[in-house]
């Protein structure tokens, strides 16, 4: 791997006033268009390629309506059809227990026409009964994937209900065990599942969460998720932030395409540097990160390197640097320079606030606190309008009546469809990209 594997562009106002301590930067990371060669193509089998697991909820509620389990079977078949030749794959069923559906012995099969057909035959036998213990499903997926040396490990998890047959602590422990082993995209079908529960899983496992209100939409969604997974070609890349002894990292957040706070996921890599997980990348993929640094003030006219931001990947010789950018600080007496707010920093600060306002507002609404819900969701309406986040604005309009979009004056709707409220919640972290 070479430094040209990723480009790292830093956008910031590097000027600080006398005594200024806080440095803020938006770091845009883009993988090379030919990134497929970095860590082995996904089309290869065991060591360099991908490994996919589809985890299907087969609890009793999946039989109500009966189309739900039928559509889940069809969706699993659709995802299996997308798995490329040579990629390892398996299907797991989950109730209050978990068991391998294909291959039945708990191993993984290498995808080809024969194994895909065999998997679809096995999936046709799935029936709904029993409870829900998602941690056990994840644990079986982890055990299955860890038996193989594939670099790109990914799972799709579908459920229609809440995790009722194990404790929250058991689920949390299972999720911790899975961190760094595989990524996981979570989908809830219908409206009887808990958004926060699946978001906790998807966030920890560097995946996505979304609602599929109607079971008839599962097949298209599963196929799209698997297509995306097949496009990932660079595994386990970390964002490494180095600071001098006179500086410290205050936060690291992914802010595009979604908001994801990585601050607490730092792993020290040296006394002055820490790594933040970013998961797998597709060729040409681009993401934005908001990084905050606190520095020790220096004299007027002095300049310092506040942070060095690198993309790194493990290799037999250690960590390969795939790309690098620098965050600077310059102290000035010129107020016109030091008070200028970088527009991209401002944009993403607003997008992070938007996500928090939506989640806080929906939680307040659920708790019956109409005053807080109205205030938070009104603020969300104003932020969505200011940032041009039209998709989120449309979702908000299904939950509140907008009286004044500029001031965020709203009135809670008396009747809100559960699916609309959950769609707003799951999509609250999706952001609009800031222009350079």
Task: Tell me the mean pLDDT in the region 250-256.
Answer: 98
Strands 303-315 and 318-331: antiparallel
Task: Tell me the mean pLDDT in the region 271-296.
Answer: 97
pLDDT above 90: percentage of residues in the chain: 91
Backbone angles phi, psi at 236, to 5 degrees: 50, 55
- Above 50 in pLDDT, residue 2? no
At residue 315, the pLDDT reads: 75
Task: Tell me the mean pLDDT in the region 396-413.
Answer: 98
Q: Cβ–Cβ contacts within 10 Å for residue 143, how many?
A: 13
pLDDT above 70: percentage of residues in the chain: 96
Contacts by 109-116, CB closer than 8 A, 24 or more apart: 110/45, 110/46, 110/86, 111/83, 111/84, 111/85, 111/86, 111/87, 112/85, 112/86, 115/89, 116/80, 116/81, 116/83
Task: Tell me the mean pLDDT in the region 140-154.
Answer: 96
- Above 90 in pLDDT, residue 436? no
- Tell whether pTM > 0.85: yes
Query: How far, in Å, are 296, 322, 416 from residue 360 at the CA level?
Result: 34, 38, 17
pLDDT tens-digit map of 352-394: 999 999 999 999 999 999 999 999 999 999 999 999 999 999 9
Res. 19 pLDDT band, cuts 50 70 90 = very high
Q: How far apart are CA 304 and CA 298, in angstroms?
A: 8
- Above 70 in pLDDT, residue 115? yes
Q: Which residue in 156, 291, 314, 146 sits closest to 226, CA to CA?
A: 156
Q: Write down the mean pLDDT value for the chain.
A: 94
The domains of the chain, with CATH numbers, are 3-33+234-340 (2.60.40.3670), 50-231 (3.40.50.410), 344-426 (1.20.120.1690)
Task: Tell me the mean pLDDT in the region 20-42.
Answer: 78
At residue 49, the pLDDT reads: 74
Which of helix, strand or coil describes residue 366? helix
- Above 80 in pLDDT, residue 130? yes
Residue 382 DSSP symbol: H
Q: How far apart are CA 361 and CA 279, in angstroms?
A: 30
Measure the N-to-C terminal CA separation of the chain; round to a whole number of Å: 28
Helices 343-366 and 370-387 meet at what angle, rounded to 10?
A: 150
- Above 70 in pLDDT, residue 311? yes
At residue 40, the pLDDT reads: 40
At residue 435, the pLDDT reads: 79
At residue 38, the pLDDT reads: 45
For the chain, the C-alpha Rg in angstroms (whole number) is 23
pLDDT tens-digit map of 177-219: 999 999 999 999 999 999 999 999 999 999 999 999 999 999 9
Q: Would you call the peptide bond into 378 cis, given omega within 30 degrees of 0 as the criterion?
A: no
Place of tokens 């999946």: 62
- How would you class 241 by CB atoms within 10 Å of its CB: exposed for 0-12, middle for 13-18, buried for 19 or more? buried
Task: Tell me the mean pLDDT in the region 221-250.
Answer: 96
Res. 239 pLDDT band, cuts 50 70 90 = very high
At residue 46, the pLDDT reads: 43
Residue 340 DSSP symbol: P
Task: Tell me the mean pLDDT in the region 58-82.
Answer: 97
The least confident of 31-45, 297-311, 386-400 is: 31-45
Q: Which residue in 291, 331, 320, 296 sits closest to 308, CA to CA?
A: 291
Which of helix, strand or coil describes residue 10? strand
At residue 4, the pLDDT reads: 57
- Above 90 in pLDDT, residue 269? yes
- Above 50 in pLDDT, residue 9? yes
36 Cα distance to chain centroid: 21
At residue 36, the pLDDT reads: 53
- Above 80 in pLDDT, residue 222? yes
At residue 35, the pLDDT reads: 61
């Amino acid at each position: 791997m070479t430094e040209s594997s990723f480009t790292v562009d830093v956008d910031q106002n590097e000027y600080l006033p006398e005594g200024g301590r806080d440095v803020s930067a938006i770091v845009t990371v883009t993988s090379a268009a030919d990134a497929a060669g970095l860590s082995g193509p996904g089309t290869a089998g065991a060591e360099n390629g991908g490994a996919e697991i589809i985890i299907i909820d087969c609890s009793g509620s999946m039989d109500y309506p009966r189309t739900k389990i039928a559509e889940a079977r069809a969706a699993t078949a659709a995802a299996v059809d997308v798995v490329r030749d040579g990629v390892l794959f398996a299907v797991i069923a989950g109730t209050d227990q978990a068991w391998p559906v294909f291959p039945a012995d708990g191993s993984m099969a290498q995808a080809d026409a024969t194994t895909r057909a065999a998997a679809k035959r096995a999936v046709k036998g799935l029936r709904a009964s029993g409870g829900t213990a998602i941690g056990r499903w994840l644990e079986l997926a982890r055990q299955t994937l860890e038996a193989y040396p594939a670099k790109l490990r990914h799972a799709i998890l579908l459920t229609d209900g809440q995790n009722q047959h194990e404790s929250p602590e058991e689920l949390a422990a299972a999720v911790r065990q899975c961190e760094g082993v595989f990524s996981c995209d979570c989908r809830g079908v219908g409206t009887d599942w808990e958004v926060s529960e699946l978001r906790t899983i998807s966030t920890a496992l560097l995946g996505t969460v979304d609602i599929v209100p109607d079971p008839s939409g599962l097949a298209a969604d599963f196929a799209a998720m698997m297509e995306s997974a097949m496009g990932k070609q660079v595994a386990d890349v970390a964002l490494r932030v180095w600071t001098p002894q006179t500086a410290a990292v205050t936060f690291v957040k992914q802010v595009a395409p979604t908001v994801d706070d990585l601050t607490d996921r730092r792993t020290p890599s040296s006394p002055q540097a820490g790594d933040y997980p970013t998961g797998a990348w597709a060729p040409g993929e681009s993401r934005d990160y908001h990084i905050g640094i606190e520095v020790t003030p220096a004299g007027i006219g002095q300049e310092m390197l506040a942070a060095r931001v690198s993309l790194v990947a493990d290799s037999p010789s250690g960590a390969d640097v795939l790309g690098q950018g620098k965050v600077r600080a310059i102290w000035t007496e010129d107020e016109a320079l030091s008070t200028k707010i970088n527009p991209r920093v401002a944009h993403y600060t607003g997008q992070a606030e938007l996500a928090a306002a939506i989640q806080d507002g929906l939680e307040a609404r659920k708790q019956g606190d109409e005053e807080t819900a109205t205030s938070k969701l009104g603020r969300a309406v104003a932020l969505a309008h200011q940032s041009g986040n039209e998709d989120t604005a449309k979702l908000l309009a299904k939950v509140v009546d907008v009286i004044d979009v500029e001031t965020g004056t709203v009135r809670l709707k008396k009747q809100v469809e559960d699916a609309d409220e959950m769609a707003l919640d799951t999509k609250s972290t999706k952001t609009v990209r800031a222009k350079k």
